[in-house]
């Protein structure tokens, strides 16, 4: 008798665990955000959940930005937005999946600068950024910083250029892996300084920054979100920020232009995409929702904490985004070809 | 007396009602995802991160941290009960823990794990409070060369994980290292062994390998044996550790705690090594070597303590330097940023209530975990009475759901099938899955650090010998290899370790 009841209790418990597992699996990495269902707008879109594909891991900068804007965008659209992380191969797995998705506006891709560098880095990409996607609008541009271990001799950006030229055989330049923003910025630095350095790739920014603070490598270029704490604490030395204006949280760090390398301009820009062939009115609706989200004070505040800001409203449009993508594709095709880098 | 002021500040923060509540929510969720195969702490923290945007920063971090160490705690449960490790550390627990469960001693195994984890958690919290900043400085001395030597030492030591032939264990380690190379090479971006499948570019998922090699292979093996099929467990003997058990676990818990606390500090993956280094040490110092792999309680208590201590001290680089040691920590860096706190060395001075509050909450969390887990042991053990017709399909189903939910990648599920069959074949050949799994986990670390060290030194291999920490670790590795290979010892191994089946 006790045997039976024990068995029943155990089955009930297993069933409960199963329910949790199912719930977790169904909500996936996402979790549904915001809005009300069924109150679709005049055009009928959206009348089902919209999936935002993030081609990077949950919790990373791109994922964080996506989740910030998903809520207010859902509210504006009058639907639900589910964020899904499809990682792998520098964001090309997720992008490829969206390129092949049904062009109905229910699958949206959030991608960053990697969209413009992938064609040069990957031989068998499986999609073409300009031909397989409709641009929706730009979201934000995150500045980058050039930082070095604190006992690295050069004092200014000019000194750094002179120093690495004189010691090209000894200096090490860290990055967070092929195609990572830090890698691209490092390539631009080498082009701007006219020098070829030994690069040391890491799997992600965390380990790279750890070795920089520990003095195992000499210098690197990384997003302000990752470096500003270390800069403020004096654990690393900052030479410049890579945007036209100084960054609010780092008022003492000059821009690359001020420091004498005007060609070194790079930001980690983010934009939204839908598959080619998505109806124009749907693209327009998404773009309007994006604009509304970017004007949301909560979004502005949250982005400020990340050391960035929403793009101006005129850039949250398909046209401005497309122009940026075209310009960046050209820039990176040349930089990457000159550097002779290939990811596959 | 600054230290006690700090601690008082920490406890006054951590004991606020909402912080205790969310600490409990965190460890409860952590235990649940730890118990469920597949869904790990990283996915859970990622899922819950957006919810915490609206919390007080310290509350958010207390909960997220709770999920992390709670999962380390819960992970041992499925490993012991159904041989299904969710994380690499739990794979070691499965070795003797599941054997104990088969002998009807699941209760003492679970209790040993819980008690060991609690003691380790308490000690590690004190270490964190007393010596975090200086320890973090020491950890920064570890560069690529040191990590390479450490991982090499770890791999050689993991030969001890096998019950049978050391040669087969070595072969399994090598196979694991090879499996770990699948995916894109981080240095050149070249895809390796991906067979033109973009889904494999990110490598094979650890959970798929663990679930396949341990869980599914074990099920297949049970199915072929009528006797094992009808009763997984002979009979539940006792629920609590006997006096003899309690005496036997004291040493392993203390040694495991020390080892784990030390290795956890290293940001480059030291925590991965903690549990099986402890296992190897316990096996080496034990007078009952022949019992290891056949249900030795030391093989549960030591690694579980080491694992939990490492989980706790791995917060040191994050809290004192803002440097994440684990994907979960990287997510917590995101949580810091979203709350307007710049992770870095200044957190400790700028946000003392947050720093000390989080540390104090870890101890509270450990108390909550014990309170939560000890009463559950009876319930868990009853689960073993579920007939195999119900239990086996459920295990496979949950494993498949959990694994798929990690990345929505169907290949991860196919991989379970593949590794299940491979695991079964290997078991039939007398090769054990544990060394393979550890090779798989440590292989990428080994390769990455070897190549990185050589890139930095411009190809000069002498760095491994000229850097003192690295040289010392290599010397230890050689010593370990010699000990493993000494003919006298090998002969004794053959006598006492001969496979019965």
**Residue A161: domain span:** 143-241
Distance from CA of A34 to the nearest CA of B (A): 12
Position A36 scores a pLDDT of 36
HSE-CB for A127 with a 13 A CA cutoff: 24
| Residue B171 contacts A, CB cutoff 8 Å | no
The verdict on A135 and A165 lying in the same domain is no
Position B497 scores a pLDDT of 55
Which residues, at least 6 apart from A103, have a Cβ–Cβ distance to it below 8 Å? A134, A274, A275, A276, A277, A278, A279
Position A172 scores a pLDDT of 95
Read off the pLDDT of each residue in B74-81 and give the average, rounded to a whole number: 84
The verdict on A209 and A296 lying in the same domain is no
Task: Report which DSSP code applies to B241.
Answer: -
Q: Do B401 and A86 touch (CB under 8 A)?
A: no
| Closest of A122, A57, A112 to residue A83, by C-alpha | A57
Lowest-pLDDT range of A41-45, A130-134, B20-24: A41-45
Position B456 scores a pLDDT of 92
Q: Do B198 and A88 touch (CB under 8 A)?
A: yes
Read off the pLDDT of each residue in A187-202 and give the average, rounded to a whole number: 89
Q: Do B187 and A235 touch (CB under 8 A)?
A: no
Question: Would you say residue A45 lies in a domain?
Answer: yes
The answer for B156, left when phi > 0, alpha when psi is -120 to 50, beta otherwise, is alpha
Q: Do B201 and A343 touch (CB under 8 A)?
A: no
Task: Report which DSSP code applies to A48.
Answer: S
Give the torsion through C-alpha atoms of B399, B400, B405, B408, to 10 deg.
Answer: 150
pLDDT at A27 over 60: no
Question: Could you tell me which residues are beta bridge partners of residue B422?
Answer: none
Question: Would you say residue A128 lies in a domain?
Answer: yes
Higher pLDDT, A13 or B280: B280
pLDDT at B99 over 90: no
Residues in A touching B45 (Cβ below 8 Å)? 59
Terminus-to-terminus CA distance in chain B, angstroms?
A: 61
Interface of B with A in 416-445 (CB under 8 A): none
A264-317, pLDDT tens digit by residue? Answer: 888 889 999 999 988 888 999 899 899 898 898 888 887 877 677 888 888 888
Q: Can you give the CATH number for the domain in which A181 is found?
A: 3.40.190.10
The verdict on A131 and A205 lying in the same domain is no
Q: Do A92 and B405 touch (CB under 8 A)?
A: no
Question: Would you say residue A246 lies in a domain?
Answer: no
Position A38 scores a pLDDT of 35
Angle at which helices A297-305 and A280-295 cross, to 10° = 70
Question: Would you say residue A288 lies in a domain?
Answer: yes
The verdict on A225 and A294 lying in the same domain is no
Q: Which residue in the set B143, B317, B405 is minimally distant from A24, CB to CB?
A: B405
Q: Which residue in the set B42, B267, B407 is minimally distant from A210, CB to CB?
A: B267
**Last residue in a domain, options A224, A241, A258:** A241
- Which two structure tokens, joined as six digits, stand for B392? 């086996």
**Residue where the block lists tokens 């999946």:** A97
HSE-CB for B206 with a 13 A CA cutoff: 22
**Residue where the block lists tokens 């951590």:** B14
Position B6 scores a pLDDT of 85
ipTM score of the complex? 0.78
The answer to whether residues A102 and A274 touch, using CB atoms and an 8 Å cutoff, is: no
Question: Could you tell me which residues are beta bridge partners of residue A32?
Answer: A82
The verdict on A134 and A159 lying in the same domain is no
Question: Would you say residue A3 lies in a domain?
Answer: no
Interface of B with A in 18-77 (CB under 8 A): 32-33, 35-36, 38-39, 42-47, 49-51, 53
Read off the pLDDT of each residue in B228-248 and give the average, rounded to a whole number: 70
pLDDT at B411 over 90: no
pLDDT at A34 over 50: no
The verdict on A156 and A66 lying in the same domain is no
| Residue B488 contacts A, CB cutoff 8 Å | no
Q: Which residue in the set A7, A169, A204 is minimally distant from B385, CB to CB?
A: A7
d(CA B296, CA A224): 51
d(CA B501, CA B486): 26
What percentage of chain B has pLDDT greater than the value 90? 22
d(CA A193, CA A129): 30
B365-384, pLDDT tens digit by residue? Answer: 999 998 888 888 877 777 77
pLDDT at B233 over 70: no
B426-477, pLDDT tens digit by residue? Answer: 988 888 888 888 888 888 889 989 999 999 998 899 999 999 999 999 999 8
Q: Do B344 and A200 touch (CB under 8 A)?
A: no
- Number of domains making up chain A: 2
Which residues, at least 6 apart from A15, have a Cβ–Cβ distance to it below 8 Å? none
d(CA B301, CA B292): 12
pLDDT at B256 over 90: yes
The verdict on A131 and A157 lying in the same domain is no
d(CA B243, CA B250): 11
CB atoms within 10 A of CB B148: 26
d(CA A150, CA B2): 29
pLDDT at B286 over 70: yes
Residues in A touching B184 (Cβ below 8 Å)? 89, 178, 343-344
d(CA B68, CA B422): 31
d(CA B9, CA A56): 38
Q: Label the pairing between strands B191-192 and A219-223.
A: unpaired
Read off the pLDDT of each residue in A128-150 and give the average, rounded to a whole number: 91
| Residue B197 contacts A, CB cutoff 8 Å | no
pLDDT at A151 over 90: yes
Helix (H) or strand (E) holding B452: helix B433-456
Substitution target in B139, B239, B408, B447 with the highest count of A β-carbons within 10 Å is B408
Residues in A touching B456 (Cβ below 8 Å)? 172, 198, 200, 216-217
pLDDT at A216 over 60: yes
d(CA B95, CA B72): 17
The verdict on A63 and A152 lying in the same domain is no
Closest residue of chain A to B146, computed from CA coordinates? A216
Which residues, at least 6 apart from A73, have a Cβ–Cβ distance to it below 8 Å? A81, A286, A289, A290, A292, A293
The answer to whether residues B345 and B322 touch, using CB atoms and an 8 Å cutoff, is: yes
Average of per-residue pLDDT values in chain B = 83
Q: Do A27 and B47 touch (CB under 8 A)?
A: yes
CB pairs under 8 A between A and B: 209
Q: What are phi and psi of A241, to 5 degrees?
A: -105, 150
**Last residue in a domain, options A241, A276, A307:** A241
B110-141, pLDDT tens digit by residue? Answer: 999 989 999 999 999 888 888 877 887 788 88
Which residues, at least 6 apart from B455, have a Cβ–Cβ distance to it below 8 Å? A172, A198, A200, B187
The verdict on A327 and A182 lying in the same domain is no
- Which two structure tokens, joined as six digits, stand for B349? 């001075």
Q: What is the band of A165 on the pLDDT scale with cuts at 50, 70, 90?
A: very high
Higher pLDDT, A338 or B499: A338
| Residue B251 contacts A, CB cutoff 8 Å | no
Distance from CA of B148 to the nearest CA of A (A): 14
Position A1 scores a pLDDT of 34
- Which two structure tokens, joined as six digits, stand for A53? 């594909």
Distance from CA of B167 to the nearest CA of A (A): 32
Q: Can you give the CATH number for the domain in which A327 is found?
A: 3.40.190.150
The verdict on A112 and A156 lying in the same domain is no
The verdict on A125 and A216 lying in the same domain is no
- Which two structure tokens, joined as six digits, stand for A304? 């400020």
Q: Do B202 and A93 touch (CB under 8 A)?
A: yes
């Amino acid at each position: 008798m006790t045997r039976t009841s024990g068995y029943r209790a155990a089955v009930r418990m297993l069933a409960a665990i199963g329910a949790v597992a199912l719930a977790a699996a169904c909500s996936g990495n996402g979790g549904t955000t915001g809005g009300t269902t069924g109150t679709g707008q005049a055009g009928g879109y959206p009348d089902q959940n919209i999936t935002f594909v993030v081609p990077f891991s949950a919790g990373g900068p791109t994922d964080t930005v996506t989740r910030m804007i998903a809520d207010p965008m859902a509210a504006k659209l009058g639907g639900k937005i589910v964020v899904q992380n499809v990682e792998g191969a520098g964001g090309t797995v997720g992008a490829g999946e969206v390129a092949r998705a049904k062009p109905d506006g229910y699958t949206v891709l959030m991608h960053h600068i990697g969209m413009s560098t992938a064609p040069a880095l990957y031989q068998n990409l499986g999609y073409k950024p300009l031909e397989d996607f409709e641009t929706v609008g730009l979201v934000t541009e995150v500045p980058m910083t050039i930082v070095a271990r604190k006992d690295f001799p050069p004092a200014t950006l000019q000194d750094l250029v002179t120093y690495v030229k004189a010691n090209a055989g000894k200096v090490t330049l860290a990055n967070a892996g092929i195609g990572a923003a830090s890698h691209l910025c490092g390539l631009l630095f080498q082009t701007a300084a006219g020098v070829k350095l030994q690069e040391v790739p890491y799997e992600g920014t965390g380990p790279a920054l750890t070795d920089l603070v520990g003095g195992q490598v000499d210098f690197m270029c990384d997003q302000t979100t990752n470096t500003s704490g270390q800069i403020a604490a004096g654990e690393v030395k900052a030479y410049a920020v890579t945007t036209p204006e100084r960054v609010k949280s780092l008022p003492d760090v000059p821009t690359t232009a001020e420091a004498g390398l005007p060609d070194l301009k790079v930001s980690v820009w983010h934009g939204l995409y839908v598959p080619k062939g998505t109806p124009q009115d749907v693209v327009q609706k998404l773009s309007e929702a994006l604009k509304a989200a970017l004007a949301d004070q909560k979004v502005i505040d949250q982005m400020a904490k990340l050391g960035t800001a929403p793009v101006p409203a005129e850039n949250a449009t398909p046209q401005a985004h497309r122009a940026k993508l075209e310009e960046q594709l050209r820039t990176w095709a040349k930089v990457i070809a000159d550097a002779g880098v290939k990811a596959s | 007396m600054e230290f006690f002021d700090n601690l008082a500040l920490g406890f006054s923060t951590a004991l606020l009602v909402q912080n205790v509540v969310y600490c409990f929510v965190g460890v409860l969720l952590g235990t649940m995802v730890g118990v469920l195969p597949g869904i790990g702490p990283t996915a859970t923290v990622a899922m819950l991160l957006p919810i915490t945007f609206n919390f007080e920063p310290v509350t958010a971090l207390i909960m997220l941290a709770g999920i992390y160490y709670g999962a380390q705690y819960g992970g041992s449960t499925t490993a012991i009960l159904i041989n299904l490790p969710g994380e690499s550390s739990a794979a070691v627990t499965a070795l003797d823990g599941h054997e104990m469960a088969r002998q009807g001693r699941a209760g003492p195994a679970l209790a040993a794990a819980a008690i060991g984890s609690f003691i380790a958690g308490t000690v590690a919290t004190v270490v964190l409070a007393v010596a975090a900043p200086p320890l973090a400085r020491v950890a920064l001395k570890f560069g690529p060369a040191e990590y390479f030597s450490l991982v090499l030492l770890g791999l050689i030591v993991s030969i001890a994980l096998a019950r049978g032939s050391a040669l087969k264990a070595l072969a399994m380690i090598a196979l694991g290292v090879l499996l770990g190379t699948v995916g894109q090479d981080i240095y050149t971006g070249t895809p390796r062994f991906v067979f033109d499948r973009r889904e494999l570019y990110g490598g094979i998922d650890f959970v798929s390998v663990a679930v396949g090699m341990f869980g599914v292979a074990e099920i297949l093996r049970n199915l072929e044996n009528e006797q094992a099929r009808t009763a997984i467990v002979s009979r539940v003997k006792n629920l609590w550790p006997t006096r003899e058990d309690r005496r036997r676990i004291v040493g392993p818990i203390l040694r495991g705690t020390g080892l784990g606390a030390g290795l956890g500090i290293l940001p480059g993956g030291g925590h991965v090594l903690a549990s099986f280094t402890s296992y190897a040490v316990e096996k080496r110092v034990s007078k009952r070597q022949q019992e290891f792999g056949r249900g030795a309680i030391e093989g549960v208590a030591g690694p579980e303590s080491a694992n939990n201590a490492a989980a706790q001290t791995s917060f040191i680089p994050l809290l004192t330097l803002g440097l994440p040691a684990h994907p979960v920590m990287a997510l917590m860096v995101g949580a810091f940023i979203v709350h307007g706190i710049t992770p870095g060395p200044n957190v400790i001075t700028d946000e003392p209530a947050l720093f000390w509050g989080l540390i104090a909450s870890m101890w509270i969390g450990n108390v909550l975990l014990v309170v939560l887990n000890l009463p559950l042991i009876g319930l868990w053990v009853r689960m073993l009475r579920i007939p195999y017709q119900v239990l086996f399909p459920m295990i496979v189903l949950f494993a498949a759901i959990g694994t798929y939910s990690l990345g929505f990648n169907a290949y991860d599920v196919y991989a379970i099938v593949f590794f299940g069959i491979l695991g079964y074949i290997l078991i039939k050949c007398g090769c054990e899955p544990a060394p393979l799994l550890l090779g798989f986990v440590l292989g990428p670390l080994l390769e990455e650090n070897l190549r990185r060290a050589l890139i930095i030194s411009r190809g000069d291999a002498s760095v491994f010998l000229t850097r003192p920490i690295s040289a010392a670790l290599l010397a230890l590795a050689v010593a370990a290899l010699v000990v493993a290979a000494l003919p006298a010892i090998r002969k004794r191994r053959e006598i006492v370790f001969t496979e019965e089946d």
